[in-house]
Amino acid sequence: GAVVSQHPSRVICKSGTSVKIECRSLDFQATTMFWYRQFPKKSLMLMATSNEGSKATYEQGVEKDKFLINHASLTLSTLTVTSAHPEDSSFYICSASRSGGLETQYFGPGTRLLVL
The binder of other proteins chosen from 8, 16, 53, 100 (CB under 8 A): 100
Instruction: Please count the residues of this chain forming the interface with other proteins, following the rule CB under 8 A.
Output: 23
* CA angle at 25 for the pair 22 and 30, rounded to the nearest 5°: 110
Least CB distance from residue 16 to other proteins, whole Å?
Answer: 26
Binding of residue 67 to other proteins (CB under 8 A): no
The binder of other proteins chosen from 95, 96, 113, 115 (CB under 8 A): 95
From the list 19-27, 62-70, 71-79, 92-100, the region that binds other proteins by CB under 8 A is 92-100
CB neighbours of 45 closer than 8 A, spacing ≥ 6?
36, 37, 38, 59
From the list 12-20, 67-75, 77-85, 106-114, the region that binds other proteins by CB under 8 A is 106-114
Q: Do 3 and 25 contact (CB within 8 A), yes or no?
A: yes
The binder of other proteins chosen from 75, 77, 90, 97 (CB under 8 A): 97
Least CB distance from residue 87 to other proteins, whole Å?
Answer: 20
Scan residues 27-46 and list those touching other proteins (CB under 8 A): 32, 34, 41-44, 46
